[in-house]
Amino acid sequence: MKDKKVIFIGVIALVICIVLLATILLLSLLSGMNNTNNTNPPVSTPVSLPVNIIDLTNAPGGRFEYAVIKPDDTIELKNKMNERFIIGLEKREWKSLSWSPDGKLVATLGKSAEDIYDIYIYNIESKTWSTATDYRNFEDGVDQYVWTDNNTILYTQGQAPNRWLHRFNYLSKEILKASNILGNIVSVSPNRNFVVIKDTVSAPEIYDSNGVKLTTVANIRDLETQSPIAFSQVEFFKDSDKILAKTLTNSYYKMNLGDTNAVVTTLPSTYQTLCSLSDNSFGVFDIDGNTLTYATFNSRDDLLNILVEEEFKKPFSINKELSYCINSTAYIKVEFTDLTTKWYKLTNTTLEEDLVLVDNIEIAIIK
């Protein structure tokens, strides 16, 4: 009788185990079905999306126009429809994103060691990262760089008197010391043919796209008065070797590359240049209190044409490094004194907030 009781209990336990196992299997199946039908995948899903879902071809006019450093220190591509694709999850305190002129490569500065930055490049077509420079065992890393053609980067590294302008070739991976310099890259011509370098005391120097020094903008005289001029800022007009230069006393002059005389303009000294719009015009802006004035300056007619005046509720400044122009439209990053930022789009007559660029730390666009 005792043995029968033990057998009965064993059978009951077995049945219970089978029922529990079947229940677990059924719940797992239902869970899998729910996940399959889920239309809101987790945030990490875009990283592993099949390649054919997103077209990574980034030639001018392609799917993605922006390269963005996000607040979590990751990098993604974005377009004007706010479609996104993450290209970098590694966190290196990224900064200074820049497209190659053909839009096939994205370069950026990332930390490779304590206080040392190097250039990293993402290939849009192969979807791979590569390291362009390696200064981990040096005292100084890369601090500035610019693309001068689809495969060439000029970058600065080191401290004077051992500060150099280097030339990097993406295809050969070759790095050459192009010129020994004292200052920093302060501007690049829109066609990327010229790079302007200046330190705090000397005259601006102009280098070609290979990093070879062409001239120093010194010993320039006012065409009318023949008085000597000292320039603090030199910028090139679009698709031209014409220059708009600003003096130490904030007067604007125009001249051609290589000229020894310059012509004074009527552009007010309070205005700042944003970017060249044509071979004769610049987009310029003025900040007076909380009011922003955006205008175009035509050097041929020596005419300032005010397009937009906007008064903000808070004091602000404009980040010139990240602001840019496409055709006749200017995109400006406005930084308010309360540490908030907004992107605005300036057309010929209107200023409107650009919501696509909200919450981005840094933006680079195909020029």
Q: Indicate if the pLDDT at residue 178 is higher than 80.
A: yes
pLDDT number for residue 102? 87
From 251, 200, 258, select the one nearest 227 (Cα to Cα).
251
**Cβ neighbour number for residue 66 with a 10 Å cutoff:** 22
CA distance 275 to 278: 9
Instruction: At 247, list the tokens.
Output: 């003096």
Structure tokens that stand for 361 in this block: 């730390």
CA 348 to CA 312: how far, in whole Å?
Answer: 19
Share of the chain above pLDDT 90, in %: 65
**30-34, 141-145, 189-193, 226-230: lowest mean pLDDT where?**
30-34
Choose the weakest-confidence range: 59-68, 124-133, 280-289. 59-68
- Tell me which residue has tokens 């990332």: 110
The pLDDT score that the predictor gives to residue 168 is 98
Q: Is 299 exposed, middle or buried (0-12, 13-18, 19+ CB in 10 A)?
A: buried
**Reported confidence tier of residue 60, pLDDT bands at 50, 70, 90:** low
Per the prediction, the chain carries an average pLDDT of: 85
Rounded Cα distance, 97 and 52, in Å: 25
The DSSP secondary-structure symbol of 51 reads G
Amino acid, single-letter form, for residue 218: A
pLDDT-based confidence at 17, cuts 50/70/90? low
